[in-house]
């Protein structure tokens, strides 16, 4: 019996040891999985220089390889314009975003790095003049994974103005006095523009760092990172993100048992990096190292957003373009038009356009230069199938028609719903159950600001709206309270303080 007992104890220890080993092995595997495979694919390993062919020789170190050192193929060029030299556009290096034609990457890099502190300081001054950027966080209202929402309004009013005094003024007077508290929010570097990622995302994926400009809004006013993921084909699972950012490293492990092969292949394409205007191998890129590019889900993180911004690709000249926040892909399956201005009529067209030109600011010339990615319609349809799986967050207080269940809603929420569909006029464009109308509308903002206005813009869904700050196409409204104040002025609603609070309470449960 003693032997058997000892054997049993030994066996238990052995099993325990195996469990410990397995746990350690699992931890190591987890650490490996959490690394950035895309970054590693671009980073050469350090190799000791031991062989003669590894050493740079005198020829290697000469500057004869520079374009400016090339000898002319004919002496006759001396008599030709510009001596036969291309001083402007070049296929691989051009004057885009340069101070002078044919700047080298090193020259551009040094210039941009030197100018960056001043650029960001100017943007900081502008933001602090417009907003109170010290966040007031809700003690009870949180996003799906627990991030508290910021409470507003945050806008700073003109001297002597109050929200009630502004609401009593007509549009012409507000414009003449430059008193409108929500003018367009500019890109920190308009001439260059391009996609800018928040620090919390760059901390995880350093390849998204730009050397010429930084993100400008505090993290407290942004969506969760990582955002939750809801699948409309498996609603009973709730958030399926498991607290991870979906990438090329983990997409298969996370979703192989949740998606069909077609959807999984679409997800693979959505997490595969392709060249983009600022992130690519060319000399006019804005990443310090040559890059494979960015993936669709770098911008639409977990099928949602972290408020990354760029410039809309649909307007010229450059100074007329406006800042555009990355929108969520949640609920794509229920949307019939896509993109803020382009009014694309299918997810497939939207996907193909984004891959081919929008990543390049709507410019096919630069796309061809930096790595245009022509996808077959089979791949496009797979990507569309996956995008159509992303669902909006559950809204337990709504019934099947998208209206509040009186048995579950608070009095403030019920009062807010009444305002939403009546005095607030919100329901005119944001129609249940998805709280959008598949239309484009023009708010004619030129009535209130010195800018020319943006023209018709797509109505975006309000389902899950508390998880998608900041608001409006350019993020000029940092909180839901700011958004209510914005529309109270633009639509002339004359809402009371209590009505505004109730309206926000209703939108928080959508």
| Residue 328 lies in domain | 116-130+187-391
**pLDDT over 90 (residue 229):** yes
Last residue of a domain, one of 369, 391, 413: 391
Are residue 372 and residue 234 in the same domain, yes or no?
A: yes
pLDDT band at 4 (very low <50, low <70, confident <90, very high): very low
**What three-state secondary structure class fits 488?**
helix
The answer to whether position 374 is within a domain reads: yes
Are residue 310 and residue 376 in the same domain, yes or no?
A: yes
Last residue of a domain, one of 376, 391, 406: 391
**What three-state secondary structure class fits 142?**
strand
Are residue 364 and residue 409 in the same domain, yes or no?
A: no
| pLDDT of amino acid 14 | 42
The answer to whether position 103 is within a domain reads: no
What is the average per-residue pLDDT within 499-505? 98
Are residue 317 and residue 384 in the same domain, yes or no?
A: yes
| pLDDT of amino acid 8 | 45
Q: Return the DSSP state at 334.
A: G
Sign of CA dihedral 229, 231, 232, 235: negative
The answer to whether position 48 is within a domain reads: no
Q: Is residue 313 within 8 Å of residue 330, measured between CB atoms? A: no
Question: Residue 470, preceding bond cis, omega within 30 degrees?
Answer: yes
* C-alpha torsion angle, residues 431, 435, 441, 445 (rounded to 10): 120
The answer to whether position 100 is within a domain reads: no
Are residue 387 and residue 400 in the same domain, yes or no?
A: no
Are residue 124 and residue 171 in the same domain, yes or no?
A: no
Are residue 382 and residue 286 in the same domain, yes or no?
A: yes
The answer to whether position 344 is within a domain reads: yes
The answer to whether position 109 is within a domain reads: no
Q: Which two tokens stand for residue 238?
A: 């709730």
Q: What is the CATH number of the domain that holds 502?
A: 1.10.760.10
The answer to whether position 318 is within a domain reads: yes
Tens digit of each residue's pLDDT (9 = 90 or more) over 6-37: 444 434 434 344 434 444 444 444 444 567 88
Rg (the chain; Cα; Å)? 27
Last residue of a domain, one of 391, 407, 430: 391
**At which residue do the structure tokens 């019939």 appear?**
336
Using CB atoms within 10 Å of the CB of residue 496, give its burial: 0 to 12 exposed, 13 to 18 middle, 19+ buried. Answer: middle
The count of domains in the chain is 2
The answer to whether position 467 is within a domain reads: yes
| pLDDT of amino acid 39 | 81
Are residue 414 and residue 365 in the same domain, yes or no?
A: no
Q: Which two tokens stand for residue 206?
A: 């350093």
Using CB atoms within 10 Å of the CB of residue 88, give its burial: 0 to 12 exposed, 13 to 18 middle, 19+ buried. Answer: exposed
**pLDDT over 60 (residue 77):** no
The Cα diameter of the chain in Å comes to 106
Are residue 289 and residue 162 in the same domain, yes or no?
A: no
| pLDDT of amino acid 66 | 75
Are residue 305 and residue 354 in the same domain, yes or no?
A: yes
What is the average per-residue pLDDT within 79-105? 61
Who has greater pLDDT, 35 or 488? 488
Tens digit of each residue's pLDDT (9 = 90 or more) over 231-288: 999 999 999 999 999 999 999 999 999 999 999 999 999 999 999 989 999 888 999 9
Are residue 346 and residue 420 in the same domain, yes or no?
A: no
Are residue 229 and residue 361 in the same domain, yes or no?
A: yes
């Amino acid at each position: 019996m003693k032997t058997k007992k000892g054997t049993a104890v030994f066996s238990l220890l052995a099993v325990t040891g195996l469990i410990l080993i397995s746990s350690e092995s699992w931890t190591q595997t987890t650490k490996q999985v959490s690394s950035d495979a895309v970054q590693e694919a671009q980073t050469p390993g350090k190799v000791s220089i031991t062989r003669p062919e590894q050493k740079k020789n005198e020829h290697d170190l000469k500057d004869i390889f520079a374009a400016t050192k090339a000898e002319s193929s004919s002496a006759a060029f001396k008599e030709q314009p510009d001596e036969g030299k291309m001083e402007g556009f070049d296929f691989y290096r051009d004057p885009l975003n340069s101070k002078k034609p044919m700047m080298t990457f090193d020259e551009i890099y040094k210039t941009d790095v030197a100018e960056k502190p001043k650029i960001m300081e100017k943007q900081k001054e502008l933001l602090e003049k417009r907003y109170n950027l010290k966040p007031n966080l809700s003690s009870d209202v949180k996003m799906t994974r627990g991030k508290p929402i910021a409470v507003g309004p945050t806008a700073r009013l003109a001297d002597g103005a109050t929200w009630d005094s502004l609401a009593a003024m007509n549009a012409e007077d507000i414009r003449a006095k430059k008193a409108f508290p929500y003018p367009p929010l500019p890109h920190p570097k308009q001439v260059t523009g391009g996609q800018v990622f928040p620090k919390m995302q760059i901390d995880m994926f350093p390849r998204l760092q730009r050397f010429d400009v930084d993100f400008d809004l505090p993290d407290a006013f942004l969506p969760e990172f990582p955002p939750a993921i809801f699948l409309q084909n498996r609603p009973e699972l709730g958030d399926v993100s498991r607290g991870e950012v979906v990438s090329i490293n983990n997409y298969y492990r996370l979703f192989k048992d949740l998606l069909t092969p077609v959807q999984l292949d679409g997800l693979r394409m959505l997490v595969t990096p392709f060249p983009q205007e600022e992130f690519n191998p060319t000399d006019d890129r804005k990443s310090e190292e040559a890059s494979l590019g960015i993936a669709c889900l770098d911008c639409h993180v977990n099928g949602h957003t972290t408020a990354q911004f760029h410039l809309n690709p649909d307007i010229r000249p450059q100074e007329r373009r406006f800042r555009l926040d990355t929108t969520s892909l949640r609920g794509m399956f229920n949307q019939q038009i896509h993109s803020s201005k382009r009014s694309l009529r299918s997810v497939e067209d939207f996907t193909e356009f984004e891959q081919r030109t929008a990543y390049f600011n709507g410019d096919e010339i630069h796309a061809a230069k930096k790595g245009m990615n022509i996808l077959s319609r089979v791949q496009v349809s797979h990507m569309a199938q996956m995008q159509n799986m992303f669902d909006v967050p559950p809204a337990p207080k709504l019934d099947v028609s998208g209206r509040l269940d009186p048995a579950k809603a608070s009095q403030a929420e019920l009062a807010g719903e009444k305002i939403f569909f009546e005095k607030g006029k919100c329901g005119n464009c944001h129609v249940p159950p998805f709280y959008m109308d598949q239309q484009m509308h023009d708010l004619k903002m030129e009535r209130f600001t010195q800018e020319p206005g943006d023209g018709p813009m797509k109505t975006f869904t309000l389902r899950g709206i508390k998880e998608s700050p900041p608001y409006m196409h350019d993020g000029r409204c940092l909180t839901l309270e700011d958004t209510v104040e914005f529309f109270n002025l633009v639509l002339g609603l004359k809402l009371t303080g209590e009505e505004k609070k109730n309206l926000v309470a209703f939108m928080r449960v959508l």
